[in-house]
Structure formats: C-alpha cells, structure tokens
Chain A
Amino acid sequence: MKYSALSLLRAGLGGHKDWPRAWRDPEPKPHYDVIIIGGGGHGLTTAFYLAAVHGVKKVAVLERGWIGGGNTGRNTTIVRSNYRLPELHALMELSLKRWEGMSDEINYNVMFSQRGALFLGHSDSDMLQLAQKGDAMRADGIDAELMTRDQVAKLIPLLDVSRTARYPVQGGLIQRRGGTARHDAVAWGYARAADRLGVDIIQNCEVTGMDITGGRITGVQTTRGPIGADRVGIAVAGNSGRVAAMAGLRLPIESHLLQAFVSEPVKPMIDTVIMTQSLHCYISQSDKGEIVLGGDPDAYPTYSQRGAPHIIEKAAAEALALVPALSRLRMLRSWAGTTDMSFDGSPFIDATPVEGLYFNGGWCYGGFKATPGSGWLFSHLLARGENHPVAAPFRLDRFETGRTMDEPGVGPMPQNR
C-alpha cells in the first residue's frame, strides 16, 4: 500500500484498524544471491539499493533481534556533512544528498528536519579551526557559514553568550542543511521499501558461523538454520569484531560504548543542533519536545551497553553551562550503544580476504548520518565486486599502508576519538 494523504484519511475514517503490515515476516529461503548480516540502517539501505539500483533479485537481511534495535535506534540522530577531510566530504555529502530525497524515495516520512547544525567556537583557536573547516567545505561545494557571536546569540537566544560564561562563545560555524531525523522511521521505511522490492527481512535470526570453502564464502549458519549465499555483506556495527571472527578475520576496530540521554518533553526551545569545537556535548530538541543530549564516549572496550554516570554528568554540566535554562528540566532516561570504533575514526567499506565476503563498519559514533550513503556505496561493492570511487579510500589495510583518514589528527587509537 502506498502511503499518502488519501490513504491516511481513508484509514482514519475506518478508525485506523485496517493498516496492512509494513513488511512481510518470511521464512529464510535455502539460498540467496546476497545476504546482509545486520538489520540496522546500514544493512537495510544496502539491501534496498541492491534491489532498487542494481537489480539483484534474491536478497535477505538477517537481523538477530529486531530491525533498528542496535545503534540505529539509539543514536542522537544528528545528520551533517561538515567534515574537514576531502574523503569524508565526498562520503558524507553523497549521503546528505540522499537524506534530502529520502522520504520521497521510500514513501515514508523520516521527519528529516534541516534545522541547521552549528559548531560553537570558544576561543581564537576554535574559531581558526572552524574557519579552516568552513573553507575546506566550501571548496568542496558544501554549505558552511562562519557566524559571529551576535549572529549565534540571535539564532539561539537561550545560549549563554555573556562574557562571564563558563564556556564563552566567540562565534560558530553552521551548516544549514544539517539537522535531525526520526531514527526508527529510517529503519522501518527502508525495510518496507526493500520488502516491496522482494527483499526478505528476517528478524530473530542471528548469524552464528560462516561457511567458507577454498577461501570463498558459500553461506552462513544461523539460529534458524544454514542459509546459502553467493555474496555476504557484514553491517553489524558494534558486533563487527565478533562476526568477522567467524570468518577468521581481525579488524582495526574496538567495540566501545556511547551514551545519550533525554529530558522530559517541553515546548520548542532549541531549533538548531548545537555542537561545540572544544567540548564534547551536543544538544538538540526532538519533535516530541525532549531535549536530546550526548557527550564523550566511555573510551574502553565493552559490549555491556551500560555506561558510567561520570560521563553523562560531564555532558550535562557542559550543556547546562551553554544553555542555563536546561537546569530546570528533569531527565527521563539514558542509554548506550556498542560503537564500532575504528583506529582513525573513519569507516571501512571494503572486500575482505575471503572471496565473496564484504565488510561495512567502523562508523564509530557517527554513522547515522551516513546511513543512505553507506547503503548506496556498499550495495555497489556487493553488486559489482569493486568499490565505488567515493568508497575506495575506506580500505581495511589503510593502517598498514599509512593512508589513514584521521579527521581530528590525533593518531591511531580507538579511545582517542
């Protein structure tokens, strides 16, 4: 069923009782052309573009829990392409352009809201770095505007821009095309769109092993039995190391955790995404009215999805100093996701040494924004066996060859990101 104003009206008149299910719940087939492991945003967009763009007929997404139950449904939904390095410009801008057409492309309202993504500068050196980044972006055709303190104050009246502020604001760099989206809708929308093209979305199906003969993958073992495949793509975020180990591979990735937390819902008070160049605190308001907050990663390997309180305490303290009005809000809940921390902070989209097995991961705590771009590029690799030019630099062997993409320039350690 195509969603439209008319279908909404019709279902409304019937008391919303007759909506058909959005995607099927199929039994696994014995064999697929391509299997995608992981039903997060990256796996689902990959499957969709495999069917929609590359015409691959038999595609399955295998998800051990429910789709979007991983980092897709846990992230703070900030979408932007305001990076410094040209390789990341190409990747994130390709993705941002797909965000701009997403709701139409998949006939599903993902509530993508280009409310602007602002980085605050708190010192001369912050402003210098922001100016440099803005220039680099504009040179690559990406929108960026350097703002004065007064312009920032006008944009976000609740920000403390006084001279005595704990974190004085000197100005900022805004990408007006940046913003937020509804994370669940992205998973559900692509699942539905892929399903309509014949992709099997198979939930409660954990991959537990890989069938490899003579250096070539022939299928996977799952909690719902063995399933054959000509090609297999891994897109399991925080579980990258565990799934790669099933094929005997070691990755340049450690699994860490990142927390986020939200307040009770309040009336609109912040209509821009606020980030800062010196602090690690980001603030936005969801369409439900909750203030969404995030901060530093916990910075050690863990699969617990349970963070330490001193990390959110720091993020909360920074947020309160920036926007003092937040001090009256009560926090509703906090949570964490297992992040696939690469050593230079940039992701991987690459073939593995096992023939027919491909890898997509290492998105750290910044892969939501890349969801449609990642699927676009990974589907290209899976369908053609060779990388799209935009994905080509994101190789697994780049530490060995010295071609790392270290956005902040802090050296190859996953906990420094």
Chain B
Amino acid sequence: MMLIPCPHCGPRAHAEFTFDRPVEAITRPDETPDALVRNLFSRENPRGPSRELWRHTYGCRSWITLTRDTATHAITDVRPVGVGA
C-alpha cells in the first residue's frame, strides 16, 4: 500500500489514484512516427526509480507526475501537471 502525497490534497491512500503511464510514454503531436511508436509501444520498464504520470482519480481528479521506485515503492518529487503548474 502506498501513501501518495498529492500536491493539491496532501498524503492520500493509493486506492484513490490511478496509474497512467511512464513520463517517457507521453507523446507530442509533432514527434516523428518512429519516436511515437517507440514511446507509445515500448518501455524501459525499469526496476528502480521511474518518472510516472498518475491521476488522483477518486480525489481532486488532477494529473500529477512523481518519481516512484518500482522495487521499494518509495515516492519522491511529486509535481502538479497542467496550466499554471
């Protein structure tokens, strides 16, 4: 069980959040087809720190990014996403 510190709501139970994708898999419309395929459909899938996009779906519904260790679940560097963030 993880406690995820939402930048808007403070520490909340992991059950309130949903994982979306590693930040490396966020794509932009102007990327080349090769880069799109690579970023959308393959992963580094590291065992260790990973920069990820999550959403506080059952809370304030905001998107956030964080660094999470996929072996220990230690979470650091949580940041808001979006306009003004």
Contact across chains for B41 and A308 when beta carbons are under 8 A apart: no
| In the complex, chain B residues whose CB is within 8 Å of the CB of A415 | 18-20
B35 close to chain A: CB less than 8 A: no
Q: Which of these binds chain B: A85-93, A268-276, A299-307?
A: A299-307
Whether A400 and B37, one on each chain, are in contact in the complex, defined by CB atoms closer than 8 angstroms, is: yes
Task: Please determine whether A250 and B19 come into contact, CB atoms closer than 8 angstroms.
Answer: no
Say yes or no: is B47 at the interface (Cβ < 8 Å to chain A).
yes
Q: Which residues of B contact A240 (CB under 8 A)?
A: 45
Judged by a CB distance under 8 angstroms, whether A384 is at the interface is no
Complex CA distance for A299 and B54, rounded to whole angstroms = 12
Contact across chains for B42 and A412 when beta carbons are under 8 A apart: no
**Pairwise interchain contact A252-B43, C-beta atoms closer than 8 A:** yes
1/0 contact trace for A147-170 toward B, CB 8 Å?
000000000000000000000000
CB interface residues, A 360-417, toward B, < 8 Å: 399-400, 412-413, 415
User: Which residue of the partner chain, among A245, A302, A310, contacts B70 with CB atoms under 8 Å?
Assistant: A302
Q: How far apart are the CA atoms of A412 and B36 in the complex, in Å? A: 14
B41, A400: Cβ atoms closer than 8 Å? yes
In the docked arrangement, what's the CA distance between A113 and B47, Å? 37
Q: On chain B, which size bracket covers the interface?
A: 20 to 34
Give the distance to chain A from B52, nearest Cβ to Cβ, in Å: 8
Contacts of A254 in B (CB 8 A): 43, 45
How far does the alpha carbon of A301 sit from the alpha carbon of B7 in the complex, in Å?
22
Most buried by B among A245, A252, A302, A399: A302
CB distance from A227 to the nearest CB of B (A): 23
Taking the closest CB of chain B, its distance from the CB of A339, in whole angstroms, is: 12
Give the residue of B18, B45, B70 whose beta carbon is less than 8 angstroms from that of A251.
Answer: B45
Residues of B within 8 A of A343 (CB): 41
Output the least CB separation between B84 and chain A (Å): 27
Contact residues in A for B22 (Cβ distance below 8 Å): 301
Quick check: is A30 within 8 A (CB to CB) of the other chain?
Answer: no
Q: Is the CB of A304 within 8 A of B71?
A: yes
Q: Name 21 A/B residue pairs within 8 A (Cβ), A-sorted.
A: A241-B44, A241-B45, A242-B45, A250-B42, A250-B45, A252-B42, A255-B45, A255-B47, A299-B18, A300-B52, A301-B50, A301-B70, A302-B70, A302-B73, A303-B71, A308-B14, A308-B15, A399-B40, A400-B41, A413-B21, A415-B20
A residues whose Cβ falls under 8 Å from a Cβ of B: 240-242, 245, 250-255, 299-304, 308-310, 343, 399-400, 412-413, 415
The 3 closest A-B pairs by CB, nearest first: A241-B45, A300-B19, A399-B41
